[in-house]
A and B are shown apart, each in its own frame.
Chain A
């Protein structure tokens, strides 16, 4: 069946460094790729998303890139801060059939 692979599962960076999280999806019909940040015991919060007709999107310190040919997309966080520490999930969504598959998550630690 369709799946989304997310790497790494854990990422530790020094404050101010960049963090990159990568996801690969299998369903070629996927056309929407959001990234969520989830702090312990709280709801996932949408931090950035990209649609299949766009290759890159940036919002301040956060950017997402999409390579449809290779079926992978990445989250880039620059100038990381301790408050960026959380679990980040990618997802691949097929809006026509509303198929939603989440990656396994990446636990990001930003050390002060």
Chain B
């Protein structure tokens, strides 16, 4: 149980284009989903927290107009990197919390974004 999928697993795009990453909870309803960014050999940095049906809460320093998050249903959240630049290249991981009040976060497999 508590499986989270992400798509695509990797993507290469040209500078200036936009990329959408999907995060799905497969066997549970996720009231809250989280988006993280991880650089090589570094820790996970929380980018934003999204609750189904409401606007995402972004961490300080994360541009909400650049990283668009949509949590349209209890099983799907999307992250769109708009006008991507090489410095946006990173490993993006989502996680989801089952139910309301639950604490455990279950992570997706991550998406490796390379912007050329």
A interface with B by C-beta (< 8 Å): 1, 32, 34, 36, 41-46, 49, 51, 89, 93, 95, 98, 100-105
B93 located at the interface, meaning its Cβ lies under 8 Å from any Cβ of chain A in the complex: yes
Q: B50-105: which have CB < 8 Å to A? A: 57, 60, 93, 97, 101, 103-105
Which of A43, A51, A95, A105: most chain B CB closer than 10 A? A43
Where chain A touches its partner, the secondary structure class is: strand
**Are B44 and A93 interface neighbours, CB within 8 A?**
no
How many B residues touch A, CB cutoff 8 Å? 21
Given contacts A43-B108, A46-B106, contact A104 B42 (CB under 8 A): yes
Q: How far is the CB of A19 from chain B (nearest CB, A)?
A: 19
- Residues of chain A with a CB closer than 8 A to B49's CB: 98, 100
Complexed CA–CA distance, A36 and B107 (Å): 10
**Are B103 and A32 interface neighbours, CB within 8 A?**
yes
**Are B42 and A105 interface neighbours, CB within 8 A?**
yes
Assuming A44-B107, A51-B103, what are 10 further A-B pairs, CB within 8 angstroms? A36-B107, A41-B110, A43-B110, A49-B104, A89-B43, A95-B101, A98-B57, A101-B46, A104-B42, A105-B43
Q: Which residue of B lies closest to A45 (CB)?
A: B107
**Are A104 and B43 interface neighbours, CB within 8 A?**
yes
Complexed CA–CA distance, A51 and B103 (Å): 9
**Are A46 and B104 interface neighbours, CB within 8 A?**
yes
B25 located at the interface, meaning its Cβ lies under 8 Å from any Cβ of chain A in the complex: no
- Residues of chain A with a CB closer than 8 A to B93's CB: 43-44
B109 located at the interface, meaning its Cβ lies under 8 Å from any Cβ of chain A in the complex: yes
Which of A1, A44, A49, A93: most chain B CB closer than 10 A? A44
29 A–B contacts, CB within 8 A, in A order: A1-B60, A32-B103, A34-B104, A34-B105, A36-B107, A42-B110, A43-B107, A43-B108, A44-B93, A44-B107, A45-B107, A46-B105, A49-B104, A51-B103, A89-B44, A95-B103, A98-B32, A98-B34, A98-B97, A100-B46, A100-B49, A100-B105, A102-B43, A102-B44, A102-B46, A103-B43, A104-B42, A104-B43, A105-B42
